[in-house]
Amino acid sequence: MNKIITDLIIAVALSMDAFSISICLTTSNLLNKKKLIIFPIIVGILHFVMPLLGNCVGLMISVNLQLIANYILGIIFLVLGLEVLTGKEKEQYLKISLIYLIVIAITVSIDSFTVGLGLSLTEEYTYLSSLIFSITSFIFTIIGLTIGKYLNKKVEKRASTIGGILLLLLSIKYLLNI
């Protein structure tokens, strides 16, 4: 029981990136209905797979991979934030391809990879831990998307500006590795 509580606490921490990104994506009106469904599923699956992969890879690779993922995510958010703030999107939704969405999901799941590696070194690692990480990140992603949609409706015309600013702030966070 103690391990499950520990795994739940870790899962909540791992889900915070996906949660905050979900709020930004929907506050900025960046996802259509199909992608609102697909994104949490991809994040959930990756939060299951990445810790398992972390068991198979050395510490040096995981540290470098996390750093690279942070830079990639920072650049993605910088571009998205600037596009939202400059009003370059002509349609209601900025066209984010499925590949782009998968890259975002992968980068927010890299920390699960590192945690999987760390857990394998300190204790017996189980599929239950990955399942807990997966379900928690899926739920937090849906909550973030829902909050973002709500904020978008409440602040209407300012939603894109707020979402763009949030994306720029997230880009700074990832580019500076804060």
Residue range 91-115: average pLDDT? 76
With a pLDDT cut of 90, the percent of the chain lying above it is 16
* Cα distance between residue 141 and residue 20, in whole Å: 8
23, 138, 56, 73 alpha-carbon torsion, rounded to 10°: -10
Long-range pairs, 57-62, Cβ under 8 A, ≥24: 57/113, 57/117, 59/117, 62/113, 62/114, 62/117
Residue range 100-120: average pLDDT? 80
Residue range 31-37: average pLDDT? 87
Higher pLDDT, 162 or 131: 131
Q: Which of 12-21, 88-97, 153-162 has the lowest mean pLDDT?
A: 88-97
**pTM to 2 decimal places:** 0.74
At a CB cut-off of 8 Å and minimum separation 6, what does 147 contact? 22, 23, 26
Residue 157, pLDDT above cutoff 90? no
